């Protein structure tokens, strides 16, 4: 390899080699969403305004007045969620897990977990969702990292960049 | 597709708070929080030339209680903040420089006792929205994180 070709290649490498910060080009499939988005739940024509939260491990949904019962030896839960548009969805699901959450004062709290199909933009994913009383929070649904990776990127300066559009099954 | 001008952050990054004398502190990048927060203890407020100054200590490394940095910053506000557990707390707000990757920016930070929480520092939306987008599936994407 001659010297000038080597110099050319070296110069090219220096110019277009690894940048000091990962350039924000989404990997082929990644979708940019805002810090609040409408997310539809369980294939119904029902969406909740959701906080898109990189600081949360998991996803939680507002659970008020849950009814617990047994079916086929498993614990089930039934509750209603009403969205800002006045529409009500009944969620009736088996509890897949109960987790212990660490609270700020060092205590422990139990949280039941169910599975829901959530649609954000054109992507539908089944995800484990914790049942939490979120009635004192602004957003009834909190979407955490376990749902968001690897498909989504978050722009914390914008909201409502996508519409739920996963089609009907 | 148009190239996005904002750079990418993971959900965890090493950052610096140069005016507080903190060269490296691991921060949670938290799009669910509006304002940034820093764990501080031994917090005192003094008056200096008619300005309130906060004096406090920080353990910049999560598991190292021996490493202590003593900090000082002007108090610009006192604010009620609601944390992820729904608890409301009145916190002092300081203003200080943060270095995230190549970007240096002046941000507001609330001081809190986060002793039970894993991260010493939390960067909220107002600190990152101008320069970055967040990839919640990745960690330590900035060059600063490489050096640490």
Question: Which three-class secondary structure string do you get for B11-80?
Answer: CEEEEEEHHHCEEEEEEEECCCCCCEEEECEEEEEEEECCEEEEEEEECCCCCCCCCCEEEEEEEEEEEE
Q: Collapse the DSSP code of A147 into the 3-class scheme (helix H, G, I; strand E, B; otherwise coil) and give the result.
A: helix
- pLDDT value for B99: 97
Distances (CA, A) of A38 to A23, B125, B126, B130, B148: 28, 19, 22, 23, 38
Partners of B33 on chain A (C-beta within 8 Å) are 55
| Residue B2, in any domain of the structure | no
Nearest CA in chain A to B139: A54
A164-168, B4-8, B113-117: least confidently modelled range: B113-117
Contact B33 A22 (CB under 8 A): no
Bridge partners of residue B9, in order along the sequence: B134
Partners of B1 on chain A (C-beta within 8 Å) are 26
| Residue B1, in any domain of the structure | no
For testing contact with chain B, the best of A156, A157, A159, A161 (most B CBs within 10 A): A156
Q: In total, how many domains does chain B have?
A: 1
- pLDDT value for B95: 96
Q: Does B88 touch chain A (CB under 8 A)?
A: no
B69-110 pLDDT per residue, tens: 999 999 999 999 888 777 888 999 999 999 999 999 999 999
Residue scoring higher pLDDT (B116 or B53): B53
Partners of A106 on chain B (C-beta within 8 Å) are 116
Of B7, B87, B134, the CB nearest to A154: B134
| Residue B23, in any domain of the structure | yes
Distance from CA of B56 to the nearest CA of A (A): 21
Q: Collapse the DSSP code of A142 into the 3-class scheme (helix H, G, I; strand E, B; otherwise coil) and give the result.
A: strand
B47-60 pLDDT per residue, tens: 999 999 999 999 89
Instruction: Give the CATH number for residue B137.
Output: 2.40.70.10
Contact B32 A54 (CB under 8 A): yes
Contact B116 A22 (CB under 8 A): no
- pLDDT value for B147: 55
Partners of B130 on chain A (C-beta within 8 Å) are 157
For testing contact with chain B, the best of A37, A104, A148 (most B CBs within 10 A): A104
| Residue B35, in any domain of the structure | yes
Spatial strand order of the sheet with A88-94 comes to A67-71, A74-82, A88-94
- pLDDT value for A148: 98
Contact A154 B133 (CB under 8 A): yes
Question: Going residue by residue through chain A (169 aa), what tens digit of pLDDT does each one get?
Answer: 577 777 777 766 666 655 445 456 556 779 999 999 999 999 778 999 999 999 999 999 999 999 999 999 999 999 999 999 999 999 999 999 999 877 666 778 899 999 999 999 999 999 999 999 999 999 999 999 999 999 999 999 999 999 999 986 5
| Residue B141, in any domain of the structure | yes
Of B11, B117, B143, the CB nearest to A54: B11
Partners of A25 on chain B (C-beta within 8 Å) are 3-4
| Residue B40, in any domain of the structure | yes
Task: Work out the end-to-end distance of chain B between its first and last CA atoms, rounded to an integer number of angstroms.
Answer: 34
| Residue B29, in any domain of the structure | yes
Can you spell out the DSSP letters for B96-141? Answer: EEEEETTEEEEEEEEEE--TTSS-SEEE-HHHHTTTEEE-TT----
Residue B141: give the domain boundaries.
Answer: 7-147
Q: What CA–CA distance (Å, rounded) separates A98 from A112? A: 4
Q: Does B33 touch chain A (CB under 8 A)?
A: yes
| Residue B14, in any domain of the structure | yes
Of A23, A35, A155, the CB nearest to B7: A23
- pLDDT value for A19: 47
B64-77 pLDDT per residue, tens: 889 999 999 999 99
């Amino acid at each position: 390899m001659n010297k000038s070709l080597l110099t050319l290649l070296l110069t090219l490498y220096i110019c277009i080699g690894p940048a000091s910060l990962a350039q924000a080009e989404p990997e082929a499939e990644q979708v940019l969403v805002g810090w609040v988005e409408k997310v539809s739940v369980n294939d119904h024509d029902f969406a909740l305004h959701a906080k898109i939260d990189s600081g949360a491990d998991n996803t939680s949904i507002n659970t008020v007045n849950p009814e617990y019962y047994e079916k086929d030896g498993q614990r089930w839960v039934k509750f209603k969620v009403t969205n800002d548009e006045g529409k009500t969805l009944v969620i009736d699901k088996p509890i897949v897990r109960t987790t212990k959450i660490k609270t700020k004062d060092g205590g422990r709290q139990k949280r039941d977990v169910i599975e829901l199909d959530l649609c954000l933009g054109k992507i539908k994913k089944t995800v484990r969702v914790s049942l939490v009383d979120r009635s004192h929070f602004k957003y009834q649904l909190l979407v955490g990292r376990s749902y968001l990776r690897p498909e989504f990127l978050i722009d914390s300066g914008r909201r409502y960049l996508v519409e739920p559009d996963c089609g009907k099954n | 597709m148009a190239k996005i001008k904002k750079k990418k952050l993971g959900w965890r990054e090493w950052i610096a708070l140069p005016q507080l004398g903190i060269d490296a502190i691991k921060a949670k990048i938290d799009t669910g929080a509006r304002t940034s927060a820093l764990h501080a203890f031994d917090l005192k407020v003094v008056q200096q030339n008619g300005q309130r100054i906060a004096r406090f200590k920080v353990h910049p490394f999560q598991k190292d209680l021996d490493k202590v940095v003593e900090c000082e910053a002007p108090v610009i506000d006192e604010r009620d903040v609601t944390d992820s557990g729904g608890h409301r707390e009145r916190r002092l707000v300081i203003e200080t420089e943060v270095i995230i990757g190549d970007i240096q920016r002046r941000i507001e930070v609330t001081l809190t006792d986060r002793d039970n929480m894993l991260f010493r520092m939390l960067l909220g939306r107002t600190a990152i929205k101008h320069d970055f987008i967040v990839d919640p599936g990745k960690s330590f994407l900035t060059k600063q994180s490489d050096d640490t």
